[in-house]
Structure 1
Amino acid sequence: MRVLLLGANGFLGRYVAERLLADPAVQLTTLGRHDDADVRFDLSTGSPGALSRFLDAVHPGVVINCAGAIRANARDLTRHNTVATATVCEALRRSGCGARLVHLGCGAEYGPSPSGSSTGEDALPRPGGPYGVSKLAATELVLGSGLDAVVLRVFSPVGSGTPAGSPLGRLAEAMRRVMQHGDGDLRLGGLAVQRDFVDVQDIARAVHAASLSAAQGVINIGSGRAVKLREAAAMLARVAGFNGALHEMEPPSPGSRMIPQQATDSPGSPGAQPAPTHAPYPDGCGIWQQADVRTARDRLGWRPRIGLEESLADIWMEAACRI
Structure 2
Amino acid sequence: MPDLKKKVLVLGGNGFVGKNIALTLIKDYDVLTSSRKQEPIGSIYFDLSQKETWRNINQLDVDIIINCIGYGVVKEEQDIKEVFNTNYINTIAFYEYLGLKSPSTFIIHIGTAFEYDLTQKELYENSTNTPLTHYGMSKFLASNYLLHKFTSNNYLILRPFSMFGSFEDISKIIPALILAQKEKRELKLSNGLQKRDYFHIVDLANFINNLLKKTDLNTLPKCINIGTGSSISIKEIAEYLAPQLPSFQTSFWKWGLLANREGETEEFLNASSTGKKLGFEASDLKTKLKETISYYWNL
TM-score between the two structures when normalised by the length of structure 2: 0.85
Paired with 1:55 and 1:189, the residues of 2 have a C-alpha distance of 43
Kindly tell me: are residues 91 and 187 of structure 1, through their superposed partners in 2, closer, same or farther at Cα, counting changes over 3 Å?
A: closer
- In structure 1, what is the equivalent of residue 119 of structure 2? 113
Q: Work out whether 1:64 is the aligned partner of 2:66.
A: yes
Secondary structure at 2:13's aligned position in 1?
Answer: coil
Uncovered stretches (5+) of structure 1, i.e. residues with no partner: 248-259, 262-274
Secondary structure of the residue that 1:90 maps to in structure 2?
Answer: helix
Q: In structure 2, do the counterparts of structure 1 residues 276 and 118 end up closer, same or farther at CA, with 3 Å as the change threshold?
A: closer
CA distance in 1, matches of 2:138, 2:84: 5
User: Structure 2: how far apart are the matches of 1:186 and 1:50?
Assistant: 41
Moved more, 81-90 or 237-246: 237-246
Give the superposition deviation at 1:11. Answer: 0.2
1:176-213 superposed Cα distances (whole Å, 9 cap, x missing partner): 233xx9xxx98753211111111110011122233443
For 2:269, the aligned partner's letter is Q
Structure 1 residues 10-49: aligned runs within 5 Å: 10-23=15-28, 26-34=29-37, 35-36=40-41, 38-43=43-48, 45-47=49-51
Name the structure 2 match of 1:257.
Answer: none
From 276, 281, 291, the equivalent of 1:303 is 281
> What amino acid does structure 1 have at the position aligned with 2:183?
R
Cα deviation for residue 88 of structure 1 reads 2.7
User: Aligned pairs, how many?
Assistant: 282
The question of 1:232 aligning with 2:237 is answered yes
The answer to whether 1:102 aligns with 2:102 is: no
* 2:269 aligned with 1:287: no
Please give the alpha-carbon distance, in whole angstroms, between the structure 1 residues aligned to 2:8 and 2:92: 19
Q: Residues 1-323 of structure 1 correspond to what in structure 2 (within 5 A)?
A: 1-23=6-28, 26-34=29-37, 35-36=40-41, 38-43=43-48, 45-47=49-51, 51=54, 53-69=55-71, 70-71=73-74, 72=77, 73-114=79-120, 117-143=121-147, 144-147=149-152, 148-178=154-184, 188-211=189-212, 212=214, 213-214=217-218, 215-241=220-246, 243-245=248-250, 260-261=253-254, 277-281=257-261, 284-298=263-277, 300-304=278-282, 306-321=283-298
Q: What's the CA shift for 1:50? A: 5.4
- Structure 1 Cα separation of the partners of residues 180 and 157 of structure 2: 35
Given that 1:186 and 1:244 are in contact with CA atoms closer than 8 Å, whether structure 2 keeps it comes out as: no
Question: Structure 1-normalised TM-score?
Answer: 0.79
- Tell me which stretches of 4 or more aligned residues in structure 1 moved more than 4 Å: 185-188
- Counterpart CA distance in 2 for 1:33 and 1:177 is 31
Specify whether residues 246 and 311 from structure 1 end up closer, same or farther in structure 2 by C-alpha distance, changes over 3 A only. Answer: farther
Amino-acid identity (%): 24
Letter in 2 for 1:222: G
Shift of 1:169: 1.9
* Displacement after TM superposition at 1:170 (Å): 1.6
Deviations 1:125-184 (A, max 9, x none): 121211111111111122231321110001111112222111222211222233xx9xxx
**RMSD of aligned Cα (Å):** 2.5
Structure showing greater Rg:
1
Q: Is the 8 A contact 2:45 2:56 kept in 1?
A: no
Counterparts of 2:90 and 2:14, CA distance in 1 = 16
SS of 2:269's equivalent in the other structure is coil
- C-alpha deviation, 1:56, in angstroms: 4.2
Q: Which amino acid aligns with 1:193?
A: Q
Q: Assess, with a 3 A threshold, how the Cα gap between structure 1 residues 321 and 31 changes in structure 2: closer, same or farther.
A: closer
With over 3 angstroms needed to count, the CA separation of the structure-2 counterparts of 1:172 and 1:56, relative to structure 1, is closer
Q: Which amino acid aligns with 2:94?
A: V
Question: What per-residue deviation string (whole Å, max 9, x for no partner) do you get for residues 277-311 of structure 1?
Answer: 324438x533221112411122x32222x122123
